[in-house]
Structure 1
Amino acid sequence: MWRQGKQDELLQEAIRCDRQLVSARSRGRENMTRVFTRLVTRGKLRDATRLATNRSGGAILNPDSQLEDGNTVVEVLKSKHPPQFLPSPDTFLPANDLPLLVDVNITANHVERAAHRLKGSAGPSGTDAEQWRNLLLRYGSHRTRLREAVAALTRRLANRIVEWDQIRALLARRGVALDKRP
């Protein structure tokens, strides 16, 4: 279906199949307590809070969907972002000579050692420390390639002057409006 360009039909099929799935476990108080405790002990406080406050519902909003106030999702998102402008040169601090750029040599072994000590919640990538640890320490030859890629990216960012377009490409994430149903 994907190769035939039937993405909408594929999405509808996935939604239909998802609705037919029966929850494997009941959401009883004892189970909720057990899951909450497990999340807290793993350091996933955000997920534990969402479970306790029952904020796990929600869905992806269509960009053309009409909201309660009559605006579309796209209009609301555009209204939340100010227009771009060129800042005045007076805004910036005077530029002094840059310090000498000393090469930093990061290897896959450095990444592996750091992976053993990772802790914390998700950062800009949305991937938390536990997921990074699993990706960098498991999965055979793939982990080695990932460690080498992370080391290469770190060397590039540490040893070169990186253009803004390249940084923006690294940080680019496709915005998807979600109905969080708080």
Structure 2
Amino acid sequence: MLLGKVSAALRWNGSQRSKLLDTSPTVIQELIKKHPESSPSLESSLMKGPIEEVDNVIFDSIDSIRIEKVARDLSGSGGPSGTDAETWQHILCSKQFKKKPELLKEAVAVLARKLCCQKIQPDHLKTYIAGRLIPLDKDPGVRPIGIGEVLRRIVGKAVMTTLKQDIIMNTAPMQLCGGLQGGVEAAIHAVRKIFEEESTEAILLVDAENAFNALNRNTALRNLRYTCPELFTYILNTYRQEANLFISNSDDHLQSQEGTTQGDTCALGWYALSLMPLLREVQVKQTEPETEPESDREPNTY
């Protein structure tokens, strides 16, 4: 509590404790089931049309100042390397190392801008996109918690803060997890208002199973060129190859081949953008006028 780690203190005293499961063969198989293999794209799900050109000058705002601000706001444990957010804050923001933190912040900013503007060889990013996987007891079942490398979380957060308005413009108001301020509260009030209307008979609650890991990654990547071209190059660099997920307290690892990768600060924004084609199609179908069956129509007279 003295360090400001309230969530960690609550977990330690048991009020929010989640039991860490042993990495038995059964648990490993459950983790594998929750990370399905890659599946091909359906032609009907792909967006088509002219692709908007992106001016790379929009990423010039990712500088050492933004990197420091993002690093100071991060928290949490480390990925496979074990270097946590607090250590990164120390080496990036401390005055103890004189001019070296400034040089490191500028190097991280250069990396971020390069990932946003250039296509990088996938093999060069294997360590960058790797994550640590922790199996928690869902009681019943297994809840996989992914922890990405802090460097990836810093760079991803810097990219997302730079493109925040672009993502909101391309997702709001239908998708509320794209960064729209007060979006969840607005949704709650809207649903409550609709529910209290006399014409409302019922509300259908739908929960997609394993949604983040089951998203078709190939389709989502190709459609991102249309839903948010500014974010496309960065997501392509970090998602066009499988990410190695190293299971805690085990020598085993598995690969994230579908959907988003837990521990990535860009995952929620990308997921929100990926669902936009589906949401727009549903909206169009809801606004289309109902047509009478052919048998119920009156015959044409001339």
- Compute the TM-score of the two structures, normalised by the length of structure 1: 0.50
Which residue pairs with 2:198 in the alignment? none
| Mapped partners of 2:7, 2:77: distance in 1 | 12
Which residue pairs with 1:146 in the alignment? 104
Instruction: Specify the SS of the correspondent of 2:56.
Output: coil
Question: Given the alignment of the two structures, is residue 134 of structure 1 paired with residue 134 of structure 2, yes or no?
Answer: no
Which residue pairs with 1:17 in the alignment? none
| Mapped partners of 1:51, 1:153: distance in 2 | 36
- Look up the equivalent residue of 2:2 and give its one-letter code: R
| Mapped partners of 1:98, 1:123: distance in 2 | 38
Question: Given the alignment of the two structures, is residue 48 of structure 1 paired with residue 119 of structure 2, yes or no?
Answer: no
Q: Contact 1:58/1:178 (CA < 8 Å) preserved in 2? A: no
Question: Given the alignment of the two structures, is residue 158 of structure 1 paired with residue 116 of structure 2, yes or no?
Answer: yes
Q: Decide which moves more: 48-57 or 81-90.
A: 48-57
Which residue pairs with 2:76 in the alignment? 122
- Look up the equivalent residue of 1:49 and give its one-letter code: L
| Mapped partners of 1:157, 1:123: distance in 2 | 24
Shift of 1:95: 4.2
| Mapped partners of 1:142, 1:38: distance in 2 | 29
| Mapped partners of 1:51, 1:102: distance in 2 | 45
Report which of the two has the higher share of strand: 2
How many residue pairs are counted as aligned between the two chains?
Answer: 129
Q: Contact 1:107/1:151 (CA < 8 Å) preserved in 2? A: yes
| Mapped partners of 2:124, 2:114: distance in 1 | 11
Alpha-carbon deviations, 1:62-89, whole Å to 9, x = none?
xxxxx4xxx4554343233223211213
The RMSD of aligned alpha carbons is 3.9
| Mapped partners of 1:97, 1:51: distance in 2 | 50
Q: Decide which moves more: 118-127 or 144-153.
A: 118-127
- Look up the equivalent residue of 1:148 and give its one-letter code: E
| Mapped partners of 1:123, 1:89: distance in 2 | 41
- Look up the equivalent residue of 2:42 and give its one-letter code: S
| Mapped partners of 1:59, 1:92: distance in 2 | 40
Which residue pairs with 1:108 in the alignment? 64
Question: Given the alignment of the two structures, is residue 38 of structure 1 paired with residue 109 of structure 2, yes or no?
Answer: no
Instruction: Specify the SS of the correspondent of 2:246.
Output: coil
Identity of matched residues, %: 22
| Mapped partners of 2:108, 2:75: distance in 1 | 19
Alpha-carbon deviations, 1:94-143, whole Å to 9, x = none?
2432233232334435534x25x832533995844x44432211251542
Which residue pairs with 1:84 in the alignment? 38
Instruction: Specify the SS of the correspondent of 1:175.
Output: strand
* Closer, same or farther: CA 102–81 of 1 in aligned 2, 3 Å: closer
| Mapped partners of 2:31, 2:75: distance in 1 | 26
Q: Decide which moves more: 76-85 or 170-179.
A: 170-179
Which residue pairs with 1:175 in the alignment? 246
* Closer, same or farther: CA 80–159 of 1 in aligned 2, 3 Å: closer
- Look up the equivalent residue of 1:85 and give its one-letter code: S
Once the two structures are superposed, the pairs formed by residues 1-80 of structure 1 within 5 Å of their partners are 37-39=1-3, 42=4, 44-53=5-14, 55=17, 61=23, 67=24, 71-80=25-34
Shift of 1:156: 0.7
Q: Contact 1:111/1:151 (CA < 8 Å) preserved in 2? A: yes
Unaligned 5+ segments in structure 1 are 1-36, 62-66
- Look up the equivalent residue of 1:175 and give its one-letter code: F
Instruction: Specify the SS of the correspondent of 1:170.
Output: helix
